[in-house]
Each structure stands twice: as structure tokens, then as C-alpha cells.
Amino acid sequence: GILFAAFLGFLVSTYRKESTDEEATAEHIQEVEDMPSIAAPIGVVVFTILVGLVGFIWGADLLVEGGVAIARVYGVSEEIIGLTVIAFGTSLPELTASLVAAFRGHSDIAVGNVVGSNLFNILGIPGVVSMVSPLPVSGAMLSFDIWVMLGATALVLPILGGRWHPRRASGAFFLILYIAYISYNGYLAGLFA
């Protein structure tokens, strides 16, 4: 409940900040007015949303079941599968959205998507899920993975905070760090033995 309340507080704070910034509001209105309109009947829009929702729910179920099957076949803990396969699978939509936004010149959307999805993953998801069922956290995750997440956040702060701008070199650096993290988890799971 506390995590979810913190996430809601963040949303309210962000909305208030944006709504009081007249220059940003005018810029957003202009961006919306400049967007090409998509003429589609409401029935088509509703149908598309429903098909997407069903596909999303079905895909999430397949992802979890596939992850559990991989864990059983290779004798890897479900926690490692969650930290790697499931995390990668659930991050693909954010990666796609950020890439599309960046290619179209909307870097604010790309960065906002990264920050917003991480905040939701850290506050919103555990907040909602823990209200339904307790979420025990292993000692291994508390002693290593949480610190890696916090360290990665600390490394990203100067870049996203406006001092520097993400470039190819910093992108390659973060990608190498992620590959090293995944490889280390694979090593711990005995996949390279």
C-alpha cells in the first residue's frame, strides 16, 4: 500500500507541476495540434483496444508460463528467470516506444518513458501486487540485485539530470553493464558450467 501511495503521490505531483508551467502547457498544446489526425470509426478504435488488451493479458500469461518452464528445464531459480527473461520480455514495449519516439525526434517522450516506466515498476507494481499477495524478497536479491539497481540509477542520474546528454558511448556503456549483469546472474545460476 505504501509503495502504491508513493506512486500516486508522484503522479499528482507531476501533474500539478506540468499544469502550472504555462510555457510547457502551450508547447504541449501546439504538439497535439501539429499531430496528424487519425480518422477511424469509434467501433474500430474500441475493437483495436480490446484486441490489444486480450493479446496483452494472454502474452503476459505466456511469458510467465514460459519463464517457469525454462526455470524447471534448466534448474534455474524462478528469481533468476524473473530478473532476466521476464524482465527483458516486459521491457520490450518500453524499448520499442522509446526507440520510435527517439527516431521521430521526441526525445522527451523517450526519456519520460524510461523514467516513468521505472518508477511504475519500482513503486506501482510491487504496491499493487503486495496488496493482493505478500511479496517475499530473497536475501540474495537484497544483498546484490537491489544494489545493482540503485547503482545503475545513480549512474544514469547525471546523464538524465541535464548535465550530460545520452550519447552512443554512454548508451553502449549501459548496454555493456546490463550484459555483464545478466552474464553474472547466468554464472551464479550455473549456466556457464
pLDDT at 177: 92
Percent of the chain with pLDDT over 90: 4
Give pTM, 2 decimals: 0.67
In tens, the pLDDT along 142-186 reads 888 889 988 888 888 777 666 566 677 888 888 999 999 988 888
Please state, in angstroms and rounded to a whole number, the distance separating the CA atoms of residues 165 and 83: 28
CA 150 to the chain's CA centroid: 15
Query: How far is CA 177 from each of CA 20, 26, 101, 169, rounded to the nearest angstrom?
Result: 38, 39, 24, 12
Query: How far is CA 167 from each of CA 105, 108, 159, 160, 177, rounded to the nearest angstrom?
Result: 14, 15, 9, 11, 15
- Give the pLDDT band (50/70/90) at residue 29: low
156 grid coordinates: 544514469
pLDDT above 70 for 21: no
| Axis-axis angle for helices 107-119, 146-160 (nearest 10) | 150
- The neighbour count for residue 70, using CB atoms within 10 Å, is 16
pLDDT at 153: 84
Please state, in angstroms and rounded to a whole number, the distance separating the CA atoms of residues 54 and 52: 6
Radius of gyration of the chain (CA): 20
pLDDT at 79: 85
131 grid coordinates: 496488496
pLDDT above 90 for 110: no
Q: What is the mean pLDDT of the chain?
A: 80
Query: Average pLDDT for residues 56-82, to the nearest whole number?
Result: 83
Contact of 74 with 191, CB cutoff 8 Å: yes
pLDDT above 80 for 20: no
Please state, in angstroms and rounded to a whole number, the distance separating the CA atoms of residues 72 and 63: 14
26 grid coordinates: 502551450
Q: Tell me, what amino acid is at 93? A: P
Q: Tell me, what amino acid is at 167? A: R
Please state, in angstroms and rounded to a whole number, the distance separating the CA atoms of residues 40 and 72: 46
Placement of cell 521476464 in the chain: 86
> Which H helix or E strand runs over 44?
helix 42-74
pLDDT above 80 for 42: yes
